[in-house]
Amino acid sequence: MPFGMCPSCGGHSLRASKIRGFAERLRSLAGMLPFRCRNCGIRFSTALWDIRSWKYARCPSCLGTELSRWSEHYYNAPLSVRLLVGLGATRYRCEFCRHNFASFRACKERFSWKKRRTAAKAARESGDQAC
């Protein structure tokens, strides 16, 4: 199961769930945090410690890695985000939960409308040639 995906429905619309009880608090210290799927409502725990992706930026609200960038012209960021950007952080926007944030980490996978459009156009053209 990829990180940031519901094990039940496969949806990407997750939110952090409240930690319940002492055992769950101990697991959270070890990196197992509880989440709840907004689509199906199931509650599950997942590990944050993925060695392959520790160096990449993640959305702080849903922990997704499909990110694009935002412009300060269209979004009035809070002071903490503006300070990070002033120190050299990159402005990112999560494509699933649409949360704007800043991070010093590199983006693992860039979301590009241009890339998506060219892939769709190529698929349509190959479909037209097959007929």
Judged by average pLDDT, the poorest of 2-6, 21-25, 79-83, 91-95 is 2-6
pLDDT tens-place string over residues 100-125: 999 998 887 655 566 667 777 777 77
- 11: which residues sit within 8 A by CB, 6+ positions away? 5, 37, 38, 39, 40
pTM of the model as a whole? 0.54
Structure tokens at 23: 């055992």
**In this predicted structure, what is the pLDDT of residue 112?**
59
Residues 60, 23: Cα–Cα separation, whole Å: 24
The domain ranges of the chain are 11-48, 56-131
pLDDT tens-place string over residues 59-104: 888 777 888 888 888 888 889 999 999 999 999 998 888 889 999 9
